[in-house]
Amino acid sequence: MDTSGGGGHKKGPGVKKGKKLSTRVDLTPMVDLGFLLITFFIFTTTMSQPTAMRLFLPKDVKDPNEQNKVKNSAVITLMLGKNDVIYYYEGDSAQTLKPTDFKKIRDIVIDKKRRTDPKDFVVVIKPTVDATYKNTVNILDEMTIDGVKRYAMVDISPVEYNFIKLTETANGVK
């Protein structure tokens, strides 16, 4: 590569020979920086797009004969309580509820799913008034993660809420 920046004529003997500096600059760091910024912009543009989770609401059915019937043994009910606690019970024995949290709920749901007939398996989600919006969205997301095909969000009954309250007092939750 020619690094002598142009000008090919010889200088006379009397002229002091100045050291010729190359006009070429190493552009590698500049290219590095350029691509770094490009990657940054590519990532920020795609990342800032919020996603949306689709939800379908069921129709309210007044007639009890038309309501979906589920086998008691195939149901697991998750109740979202205060301070990110989930209370869950299987079947219809609400008094046997156990507290758990969002980390452990996956194993519980998966375990129940393994033990039940896939066509009967239903998860019932009952958020209490103490639950946050985040809890609700997270538990719905958890259903997607665990591949639960049938789940329903139902209002909590006063009896169940009472059980939660009792458990909370027993465990000293304020």
Partner 1 sequence: MGRAKLPRKSTNIDMTAMCDVAFLLLSFFILATKFKPPEALSVITPSSVSTKVAPEKDVVLVTIDKDAKVYLSVSDANMAEKKAMIDEINTSKNLNLTDAQKNNFIRIPNAYIGAPFSQLRSYLDKTPEQLQNVVKPGIPAVDSTNNEMIDWFKAAANAFEGKRMNVLVKGDDAAKYPSFQGVIIALKKNDLMKFQVVTSPVPPPLGSELYNMQQKLGTKAVE
Contact residue for partner 1 among 11, 104, 106, 115 (CB under 8 A): 106
Identify residues 55-74 at the interface with partner 1 (CB under 8 A): 55-60
Backbone angles phi, psi at 27, to 5 degrees: -90, 0
Contact (Cβ atoms closer than 8 angstroms) between residue 87 and residue 79? yes
Tokens of 148: 């639960």
Alpha carbon distance 104, 172 (integer Å): 21
Contact residue for partner 1 among 23, 49, 68, 171 (CB under 8 A): 49
Choose between 99 and 130: whose C-beta lies nearer to partner 1.
Answer: 130
Contact residue for partner 1 among 128, 163, 164, 168 (CB under 8 A): 128
Choose between 7 and 56: whose C-beta lies nearer to partner 1.
Answer: 56
Q: Would you count residue 27 as binding partner 1 (CB under 8 A)?
A: yes
Backbone angles phi, psi at 76, to 5 degrees: -125, 130
**Closest residue by Cα to residue 154 from 40, 57, 54:** 57
Backbone angles phi, psi at 79, to 5 degrees: -110, 130
Q: Would you count residue 132 as binding partner 1 (CB under 8 A)?
A: yes
Which amino acid does the sequence have at 143?
A: M
Q: Would you count residue 52 as binding partner 1 (CB under 8 A)?
A: yes
Identify residues 5-24 at the interface with partner 1 (CB under 8 A): none
Choose between 64 and 133: whose C-beta lies nearer to partner 1.
Answer: 133
Candidate segments 26-34, 61-69, 92-100, 160-168, binder of partner 1 by CB under 8 A = 26-34
Task: Provide the b/e sequence for 85-97 (b: ≥16 CB within 10 Å).
Answer: bbbbbbeeebeeb
In the three-class reduction of DSSP (H, G, I as helix; E, B as strand; rest coil), residue 146 is classed as coil
How many amino acids of this chain bind partner 1 (CB under 8 A)?
50
Contact positions toward partner 1, by CB under 8 A? 1, 26-28, 30-31, 34-35, 37-38, 41-42, 44-45, 48-60, 80, 106, 110, 127-138, 140-141, 144-147, 153, 155
